[in-house]
Amino acid sequence: MKIIEALRVKKHEAVAIVGAGGKTSLMFALAEAAPKPVCLTTTTKLAREECQGNFNHRLFSEFEVDPAASLERAKINLITNPLDSSGQKWLGLSLSQADRLISFCRREGAICLIEADGARHLSLKAPAAWEPVIPDQVDLVIIVVGLSAIGKPLNAKTVFRPELFSNLTGLPIGAPIQLDHIVSMLNHPEGGLQGIPQKSRAAVVFNQEDAYSFKPNELDLVRLTLHDHYSTAILTSLRIDREHCEVIFHRD
């Protein structure tokens, strides 16, 4: 099934992408698959080298002066603030700026995709108290999980903020990460559920299927334990196929 269909992303919707293990890849994959125009942004930072492509890139200051003129209807539109002091990362929008962009996209019938979390290119993370940075207007929050962390020790090389992950799951530092620890983190109000607006749908994308294959009993575990908090869970390998996925469950 196509990822954008499995996640039920619709026109006019704003989608926040959080977690670790493929957020930026998922954002660009959804942007490519979405009907145009589509808007991309971040409330954190985006690496400059990740933003190379056939995008219409505008600074928010330009967009705010004349939104309609800034939006190219046949393209992916990337809206950021200027580069940071290092010159290597585009600064994200404030929550008030993101809300204005979302409102404009709704009026124009454009999907707005927002990377709302940072993870230093690791496969898993546990959020700090101020994370993720999700605008209240979003319709869907997607939590990305990198399966390549399974079986590896819980430390700073595999998990962003491993001490927080340990506190949320009870897994000691240095112990091997298993699927049940990831599921526990996803269901924790200070873990995967943190910062999700009350009216938003939530979905999980288990990425890096090429690194770890689910057993039938593990698929059952995901269905049973995540069903109450998440509307959808899918399985992907964005490195291999940026368009298709396997649906683990949908909640109607």
User: CATH number, domain at 200?
Assistant: 3.40.50
pLDDT digits (tens, 9 = 90+) for 192-236: 999 999 999 999 999 999 999 999 999 999 999 999 999 999 999
pLDDT digits (tens, 9 = 90+) for 30-44: 999 999 999 999 999
Q: Which domain holds residue 73?
A: 3-250
3-state secondary structure of 221: helix
Q: What is the rounded CA–CA span in Å between residue 185 and residue 201?
A: 18
Q: What is the rounded CA–CA span in Å between residue 231 and residue 90?
A: 32
Distance from chain centroid for Cα 89:
18
pLDDT digits (tens, 9 = 90+) for 167-182: 999 999 999 999 999 9
Alpha helices in 146-243 (DSSP H): 162-169, 179-187, 216-226
pLDDT at position 10 over 80: yes
Could you tell me the pTM of the whole model?
A: 0.97
Which pLDDT score, from 0 to 100, does residue 80 have? 97
7 or 53: which carries more pLDDT confidence? 7
Which pLDDT score, from 0 to 100, does residue 142 have? 98
